[in-house]
Amino acid sequence: MSKGPLRVAHADGECREPIAVDRAGDVVSAPLVRRSFFTGRGETLARGRPPAKEREFRHEAILDAATAVFLKEGYERASMENIARCASASKQTIYAIYPSKADLFSALVKRRSERLVKPVAVALFRRGEPARKVLYRYATQVLHSVVSGEGKQLQKLLVAEASSFPDLAIAFWQNGPGLGRQLLRQYLASLVAQDVLVIDNLDFATEQFLGSILGGATLRIGLELPPMWHDDEGQALWVRSSVDAFLRAYDYKGGEQRRK
């Protein structure tokens, strides 16, 4: 049995916390609390041959390592060898799961997108809440996904690599921003069906809503400028004013009452 250190990837691109692994890259000894790059939660890997859950942790560790390397080096310069070193898995192990670097990058983009879209979907489709409250929550979730550290770094990476690797940009769009737009459009359509809002063009309204929330923020991120607000209260004020302006524009009557 060949053993080597499992190094956990962090946002700064460093790999730490060695444990023993076998030739397949599976954990075989030394307990480890692995802190997820995305969630920040600690998860303990037990001794012995890993069950299915620990193999899942192993896959997550590979994606964590890949994320750190991609964000530090960029897509084109990142190597599968360095990702394997960072995850303490052989290149053969990684290629058995992800046949190409593009497949690996698409997998981590999909994971990131799914983790962002799920709370957005929950925010939109809670029953019995006024539209203003629902849209406040949705806008806060979306804005956080863009201005948070991981989201901001990944967006900058994708923009930088989009012309060279358009398929990666498409995968990110379909699993993240594009899906979020579809969910918002569905919610706005439900408000129109209930006579809560008057919207003639749902596609325009969807983009107008997101543009009012994200337009200035994404531009400032691209220019390496700080956001317009200085604290959580300022961000909340930005969200409330944007949502209120949108609702006024589309004749929102308030609450759950239908317009006569």
Residue after which a domain boundary falls, among 66, 97, 128: 97
pLDDT at 56 over 50: yes
Q: Tell me the residue type at 30.
A: A
Q: What is the pLDDT of residue 52?
A: 67
Pair 236, 109 in one domain: yes
Q: Chain-wide mean pLDDT for the chain?
A: 75
Q: What is the pLDDT of residue 51?
A: 60
Q: Is the pTM of this model over 0.75?
A: no
Question: How many structural domains comprise the chain?
Answer: 2
15-19, 165-169, 194-198, 250-254 — most confident range: 194-198
Which tens digit of pLDDT belongs to each residue from 149-184? 667 777 778 777 778 778 778 877 887 788 889 989
> pLDDT-derived band of residue 259, with 50, 70 and 90 as boundaries?
very low
Pair 196, 117 in one domain: yes
State the Cα–Cα distance between residues 168 and 118, nearest whole angstrom: 21
Pair 63, 163 in one domain: no
Pair 117, 54 in one domain: no
pLDDT at 50 over 70: no
Domain that holds residue 55: 8-97
Pair 173, 87 in one domain: no
Tell me if residue 200 falls in helix, strand or coil. coil
The dihedral sign for the CA sequence 26, 42, 119, 141: negative
The dihedral sign for the CA sequence 99, 102, 108, 111: negative
CB 35 within 8 A of CB 41: yes
Distance of CA 251 to CAs 88, 192, 195, 196, 254, Å?
57, 11, 10, 8, 9
Residue after which a domain boundary falls, among 34, 69, 97: 97
Which whole number is the average pLDDT over 140-152?
Answer: 78
Pair 49, 106 in one domain: no
Pair 21, 129 in one domain: no
Q: What is the pLDDT of residue 40?
A: 40
Q: How many angstroms from the chain centroid is the CA of residue 131?
A: 25
State the Cα–Cα distance between residues 70 and 40, nearest whole angstrom: 19
Pair 120, 165 in one domain: yes
> pLDDT-derived band of residue 20, with 50, 70 and 90 as boundaries?
very low
State the Cα–Cα distance between residues 197 and 74, nearest whole angstrom: 44
The dihedral sign for the CA sequence 74, 77, 79, 85: negative
Residue 209 belongs to a domain: yes
Residue 256 belongs to a domain: no
Which tens digit of pLDDT belongs to each residue from 63-103? 999 988 988 888 888 999 999 999 888 888 899 999 998 88
pLDDT at 2 over 50: no
Residue after which a domain boundary falls, among 97, 121, 151: 97
